[in-house]
Structure 1
């Protein structure tokens, strides 16, 4: 039986993954105990109250504490790192710890990354609206592209993905990265259950009375959080169930990048659907906002300052960038069959509006429209 460490059990993807694993009836999972790295005693208590002996919370300070991270990872042969893809030193410390093991099962890290690692910067640099990456056909080339791009212009999420795959290959650790597109839907974990992109876009539309665009061709692929978590479960099952622990079967190192992508949309469509949801919900139009549905051209600096903590490069990659990905390996290697497709995507905008209206997104609807009353 593997010793498994999960980072991100209190997060959106990690919490959903943990919930799916511990509710699974699969023989390889139904008696599994997972050690979960958490920051607070309250988090540990809630996990234990819900999942009992199936979880073993371990207190740490987070991925920034690289000495503790490496020392902790050295006790395991499988790490599922969905805590954060934006802390390069912490992610590499997990690999370092795994690499200390001298015996036992072949060590694995299953890492999380994101599609902005692939994005161009079409407003300030070169634009590549035609570019699409295929995780099978372009295996190796994807890594080479990201490594070269990161050498020119370091980007923490990309630095972490490249660093994990490179360090693992050098140290004899097996590493695969699930490079996720836009993640949507309600999670099933105990803590954070909300995505990021759709809530941000919806709040903007409600606050301003219109949507925004930085160009006409920016795109995202998307995946429901439950389907993404299901792919993580399938990868873990493959490691646990195969006699070879997936070594030679699951791509690893510089070829170890998998795209859990379901379908593709334009960023303008996201904003159109957000505006539609606000109109359908009766909060638009209102006094001082456009009477008709509108997606308005705005500046990169405005979007960076308002919704991206003034991080211009991050805003450009996400809201203007082209990051098309074709996910071939998930279905081919693991039999991954996403359950939440076009209808769930369309429903997402209504569901997010209701969650915002009901105060389940950390901000109230009244705050979005400038009211501070009840």
Structure 2
């Protein structure tokens, strides 16, 4: 029997790219699946409707509307890319899937999106090196509540278990490259730095270098699709408390990236100097980039000792490495010049339902 998939944040960078990948797949299991996309605006409905899928204009904060959408469209799998920070949106979807399971008697699945910053010292992680095979739920529960991303991870895993929903958490790193969705094609992170550098005619870096985990958008999408395929194949894969997946393909140096961006932008006469300068203050950085000052240091300097295991055990095989990333800086600049229509920050992405 075919299964029905709902992608939230389907007009966004990651969600839209997942949607495009699924549509392009030739696998009979994907072809048999009915794909629905949840978006927020009528404009987004019109943009995605031409893809030949079921597009829902859906307010994920409306519990009743979410339940009706999941039940009426007989959704078995939800891929939630719309928000990592608003746990109530995930909870509404999980509750709806629980109702769907009671009606159908079939297993239902929830794939949640989190972020790697939460597993860094700068993001409040006190345990040092961390593998996605560790007891991450237990460790997250030991940390004082109040971080919305971490609280959402706990909520998803615990409530899914209570309601009989099989859950997975894909922990997304800094992601780069051109997306393939119909709407947002820009990496939120780098495009924000490039846009700000153009406005200030200067590329800035922070007083401390970071070495965060990262992955190309195509590799991140490949992990989501791999999990979906395993579900469709009815394979037994780690889920629930053991279902964290670090989507980390490689690392990079923030300072080196900012320097490459400075050189690429200077060559295009977009900035005055080919050297990255230190931000005069975190306050100035937060105001210029549009990030909350509270999260500025974590966003700008995080590293984290993450060790991905689960994704590779599934057969995930990232194609992009650090050298390829570093050599792509001019294309990242060009992408902003060609495609920039949205002025979203990382925090806006996490907070809203557009990803």
C-alpha displacement at 1:264, in angstroms? 0.9
Q: Which residue of structure 1 lines up, in the alignment, with residue 289 of structure 2?
A: 307
TM-score with structure 2 length normalisation?
A: 0.87
Paired position in structure 1 for 2:352: none
Matched, 1:316 2:297: yes
Instruction: Verify the 8 A CA contact 1:204 1:211 in the aligned structure 2.
Output: no
Given that 2:252 and 2:322 are in contact with CA atoms closer than 8 Å, whether structure 1 keeps it comes out as no
Alignment match, 1:14: 15
**Larger deviation: 18-27 or 323-332?**
323-332
Q: How far off is 1:94 after superposition?
A: 1.0
Q: Secondary structure at the match of 2:311?
A: helix
Alignment length (residue pairs): 337
- 2:70 is equivalent to residue 68 of structure 1: no
Rate the CA distance shift 1:292–1:271 in 2: closer, same or farther, 3 A.
Answer: closer
Separation in 2 of the partners of 1:77 and 1:358? 38
Q: How does 1:222-261 map to 2 (within 5 A)?
A: 222-242=214-234, 246=235, 249-261=236-248
Higher relative CO (Cα under 8 Å, sequence separation at least 6) belongs to 2
SS at match of 1:69: helix
State the shift of 1:257 in Å: 0.8
Runs of 4+ in structure 1 over 4 Å off: none
Does the residue aligned with 1:28 lie in a helix, a strand or coil?
helix
Superposed CA deviations along residues 216-260 of structure 1, whole A, max 9, x for unmatched, are 3x2311111111111111111100112xxx4xx322222211001
1:158-207 deviation line (CA, Å, top 9, x unaligned): 22222111111222211001001001000011000111111122233342
Cα 1:208–1:42, aligned 2, differ >3 Å: closer, same or farther? Answer: closer
**2:169 counterpart of 1:188:** no
Contact in 2 for aligned 1:2/1:105 (Cα 8 Å)? no
CA shift, 1:78, in A, is 1.1
Question: Which stretches in structure 2 are left out of the alignment for 5+ residues?
Answer: 344-355
- CA distance, structure 2, for counterparts of residue 214 and residue 67 of structure 1: 48
CA distance in 2, matches of 1:85, 1:190: 21
In structure 1, the partner of 2:350 is: none
**Equivalent residue number for residue 372 of structure 1:** none
Could you say what secondary structure the match of 1:58 adopts?
strand
Q: 1:58 to 1:314 in 2, by over 3 A?
A: same
* CA apart distance, 1:361: 4.7
Q: Which runs of 5+ in 1 are unaligned?
A: 286-290, 364-374
**Alignment CA distance shift 1:175-1:273 (3 Å):** same
1:73/1:79 contact within 8 Å kept: no
Task: Give the superposition deviation at 1:281.
Answer: 2.2
The alignment's TM-score, normalised by the length of structure 1, stands at: 0.83
CA displacement, residues 329-374 of structure 1 (integer Å, 9 cap, x when unaligned): 11212x11112223431233211211233363547xxxxxxxxxxx
Alpha-carbon shift at residue 13 of structure 1 (Å): 0.8
